[in-house]
Structure 1
Amino acid sequence: MIKFKYYGHACFLLETDNEKLLFDPFLTGNPVASISADEVKCDYILLTHAHGDHYGDATQIAQKTGAKVISTPEVLTKLPSDYENVHGMNLGGSFTFPFGIVTMVPALHSAGVEGGIPCGFVIKFNDDTVVYFAGDTALFSDMALIGEKQQIDYAILPIGSNYTMDAKDAAKAVQLLNAKHAIPVHYNTWPVIAENPEAFKSYAESISHASVDIVPVGSSLDLVK
């Protein structure tokens, strides 16, 4: 079983029986973070783009833990040149890691690094649980294609608006993805991305077959197929 641990903003951990995958580790300076960078334990760090509220403490955590960092080549250049435990990918590519298959998919956003592009990740774990993390993105119609190719069990989506989709567009994304479950992130960190997750839950469940799991910061959820 995969466990989702929400650390705040767009930072979370997916934990299997053997590996810990950390996503977009913005902790230092995050006003709602439930854990400090020094406390994090992980085997992999997956980065959707290089904005400070996503790249965050990636360098510090990587150097402390020795985690393998997975991202686009441009984002990986932000790491120290002597840090070699990296795996570069690009849109449409897949790679099999010990925990399962990672596919890098598009996101509509800016990248935070010169020449770079933002991305999302679809992960098919060894127990066949499929998790999609959209990263920061606008709603786009090819989400339907992502959902068609991958039978998504859990879609982790930003809902805070201003920089990303709002709750209504994120609900439409759930519908396009044909996901079984959805988890909202990237909201209420600052007033500019204030959003009511209950409104997202209500609307998403009214227009899709998904159930929405609102996970409070600092809490965990077992991902059940």
Structure 2
Amino acid sequence: MKITYLGHASLHIEFEETNIIVDPFISGNSLASAINISDLKADYILVTHAHQDHILDVEQIAKSNNATVVANYEVANHFGEKGIDVFAMNHGGTYKTETFSAKYVNAIHTSSFPDGSYGGQPGGFVVTSKSGKSIYIAGDTALTFDMKLIPLQTTLDLAIFPIGDTFTMGVDDAIIASDFVECDTILGYHYDSFPPIQIDKEEAKQKFANRHKELLLLEIGKSIEL
């Protein structure tokens, strides 16, 4: 499983000839100016919630790739009305294909479309590939005890947490979250995109290291493999 950081909370996940884009906010992110969304491959687009910094490029990427958008009921309906193939779900539900499954799990946040209309309840995804690799994409969330439910069903190879604070949990809460999900390898996202969520990256890494955990902070466009 190859995971590429596309900036902010956007990811490209590739495995077994399957391409997944998560929460594409690229064209509106000046830090991701080197990423050309026309070059991105996507069979599926996972959307955690309706905020603009998570859905901005969904329509263009979906239509150019004939991709399926997997999201909560309200977000899925929004894109379905635009002629995009969608799969609508809600918390506790699992989307299954021949190469992976994606379970929609709880997140503590808000969710509205750019025009202020209701975007359903926010969530995260536990993605498991056919080969058995599992990752938790937390989405925008505060620390929540619901995270403790995840390791009861899934052994994670990687947890992807927002760490920018202000609108989501920060570094200290993300460390506790890593305890809750029983995963010591963390990929940080949702930081540095704009002033309220800028962080001291070296300090953040050291805080995780002090707890015998690894915080990965990828440069935009760079990848890790599991």
Give me the TM-score of the superposition, normalised by structure 2: 0.92
Give the drift of 1:77. Answer: 2.6
1:115-149 Cα offsets, whole Å, 9 max, x none, are 61000000111111110000000011121222232
Aligned positions of 1:25-44 closer than 5 A? 25-33=24-32, 34-44=34-44
Secondary structure at 1:217 match in 2: coil
2:8 touches 2:191 (CA, 8 Å); kept in 1? yes
Query: What stretches of structure 1 move > 3 A for 4+ residues in a row?
Result: none
In the alignment, is residue 57 of structure 1 matched against residue 78 of structure 2? Answer: no
Shift of 1:100: 1.4
SS at match of 2:127: strand
1:221 matched residue in structure 2: 224
Matching residue of 1:102: 102
The residue that corresponds to 1:24 in the other structure is: 23
Question: Gapped runs of 5+ residues in structure 1?
Answer: none
| Preserved CA contact (<8 Å) 2:112 2:119 | no
| Residue identity opposite 1:91 in structure 2 | H
The alpha carbon displacement at 1:80 in A equals: 5.2
Given that residues 185 and 214 in structure 2 are in contact (C-alpha distance below 8 angstroms), is that contact kept between their aligned partners in structure 1?
yes
Q: Does 1:130 align with 2:134?
A: yes
2: CA distance between counterparts of 1:82 and 1:51? 17
CA-atom RMSD, angstroms? 1.5
- Post-superposition shift, 1:214? 2.1
1:145-202 deviations in Å (ceiling 9; x for gaps): 2223211110000000111011111111111111141100010011110012332322
Q: Distance in 2 between matches of 1:98 and 1:180?
A: 29
Work out the CA distance in 2 between the residues paired with 1:112 and 1:218: 28
Separation in 1, partners of 2:90, 2:67: 20
Contact 1:167 1:199 in 2 (8 A): no
* Percent of aligned positions that are identical: 35
User: Which consecutive residues of structure 2, in runs of 5 or more, have no partner in the other structure?
Assistant: none
Q: Distance in 2 between matches of 1:84 and 1:218?
A: 26
Q: State how far apart, in whole Å, the 1-side matches of 2:82 and 2:58 are.
A: 15
Aligned counterpart, 1:158: 162
Deviation at 1:101, TM superposition (A): 1.6
Instruction: Determine the C-alpha separation between the residues in 1 that align with 2:141 and 2:54.
Output: 13
Q: TM-score, normalised by structure 1?
A: 0.93
Which residue in 1 is equivalent to 2:7? 8
| Structure 2 letter corresponding to 1:147 | P
Partners in 1 of 2:55 and 2:82 — Cα distance? 18
